[in-house]
Every structure is written in C-alpha cells, then in structure tokens.
Structure 1
C-alpha cells in the first residue's frame, strides 16, 4: 500500500527532518563548547579520516559561529514544531494556538496506541532545574534566530546582550524535550 502525500511528509519529518534538526542543535552545543575552550582567533584545521592534509583551515570563531547560528535556527524550528514560540512586544514563551495551513507539528503524529501526540504546554520547562532560566533561554534563542540572525542591524528584542549562555542552555534542553516527547513516542504514519 502506498503512503498518501501527507503521510509521506510526516514520515520524512519523523525519520529525517526532525532528527536532523535535533542533531544540528546538538552540534551547536559542541561548537559553543569548543569556542569557550579556545581563543576565537586560534587556527583550526579540519581533517577527514585517513587524509594527511586538512580539508579546511580557518579560525575557531569562523568554524564555530556558523554551526551555532544554524543550530539556533533549528532550535527555534524544533520549539515551534512542538508548539512553542517567542511572542509579544516584550518577548515571552507562548503556546502556538493555530498552525498556518500546511504546517506540520507534533500534533500531526500518533503514539503506538494510536493516540495523537499533543503540542507541549508552557509548563514543559519545569522538567528542568531552573525552569525560569530555561524559559528565558528558549525565548532568547527564538529571538536570536528570528531577529538578530535575520535582521543583523535591528536588535531591539535582545538589545546587544550576549546570548551565548542562553543558547548553551537551549541547545542542552530542547533536543531532550524533542527526543522524549516526539522521537521516543511518534510512530511512522500509515496511509
């Protein structure tokens, strides 16, 4: 039996897209950790196994920033996928009430018993120590991805604040939530 177009899209989300975004965020955490341990201008060489010469040469900063920046975008996408986003003039974490037509979210999937998965509530931050800090980290990551990266000359929500510690916390917590609440529960779609 062939999968419907919608089922194929959900299948791709479950097996490829969401795991890829999750891995990107985990790599973003590794990039932040690498950047914190070394001088930003230190030379960095990338080697591929069994190659004698580096395949890429740059600096720590030029290597880690693109990885952590893309991880922030993917982290925001994951939060939106599970039903949370940054909203309001003074940004706060809010639940997504309605999806735009064509958007796929966690609620479009089912568990092994056939029950639909649900968008995550704001209280999901309480699964972590210091939930208020986690909430602020998620908001800052969404604002960083949606404003500072997208509009480099307009930074009214973050006001020039160094968001690195908040990115670090978001990159630690969001993959765990996505793993626990989606990847561990969702079943492949059927036609």
Structure 2
C-alpha cells in the first residue's frame, strides 16, 4: 500500500497556491502536449494538406508557399521539441504539486527555468531562421501581385508586425513561469511541503 500523506493539522493549513498551480500546470501541460502532437502531424502531412487547400491557386504562388514551408521546417521541428520538453516538465511538476510531493517546488522551478530558456532561444532562432525566409517569400509574392511602392509599404508593415509578434508573444508566455518561481518559492509553501509533503 503506498504511503499516505501526513494528516494536516488545523494550525498548518495547506497554502491554496499549491493546488491552484498544480491544476494550472496540468492544464497548460496537457495543452502543450496536444499542441506539439498537432504540430508534428502538420509537419508530417503538410504536403498532402497543402495539396488539398491550394487547389486553384496560381502555380507560382504554390511554389513560393511550398519553398517557405520547407525552409522553416527545421525551425518548426526545433520549436516542437522545445514545446514537448517544457510540457512534460510542467506536467511532472503539476502531478507532484497535486500529490504534495516535497520535490514539487524543485520540479516547478526546473519547468519554469526550462521554459524561460526555451523562450529566449526561441526568440533568437525566430529572428535568425524565420524572419529572413518569410521576408524573402513576401517580397516574391508581393512583387508579383502589387505595384512596387505599395508592395514596399505592405512589406514594411508585415515585417514590423513580425518583429512585434516575435518579441511580444514570448514575453507574454514568460509571465506564467515567472509567477511560478515567485509564488511557489515562498517560505510558507516550502515549510508546508517539508512538514506535510510525501
């Protein structure tokens, strides 16, 4: 029979953040795994999917899109691997929190640090591997369909949006791991788990 967690004394209540973060960890981890698996399926079957969705498109446009997907495929695979690793780490930490494991804060810190590192590396790779490729593809597509001055204006706007998105989304994604570090490393959480954890 597995060991039972120590009974809680009235004077030593469980901090609510342990269960709250445990639930959120599990939700985010589950969504991350589903997202990563969806990304893998897309990369494996993208040629078949694009063959169906691109029906009726001009051959030149289809060729540019296919080249774009090929050129960013390596970045997509790297992103999926990062996402899967971080998702597994947060799931493991979430399970530990729900079971009141003494190791749960350490596991949550491991997830949070891995997530932050993945975001920093992801931003770097985005600007090195994706932005130049997408910019080149856009120049080709817009140059063939829009008069030159208008094409340059549209291209400049899209590049600005790419840069903003490439920085803003990782910053937003860093909020939860930072909250995890700040909220779960409080003395009351560590002391509770040390006394009552399994």
Same fold (TM over 0.5): no
- Structure number with greater CO (CA < 8 Å, separation at least 6) is 2
Structure with greater Cα Rg: 2
What is the TM-score of this pair, normalised by structure 2? 0.28
Which one has the bigger helix percentage?
Answer: 2
What is the TM-score of this pair, normalised by structure 1? 0.29
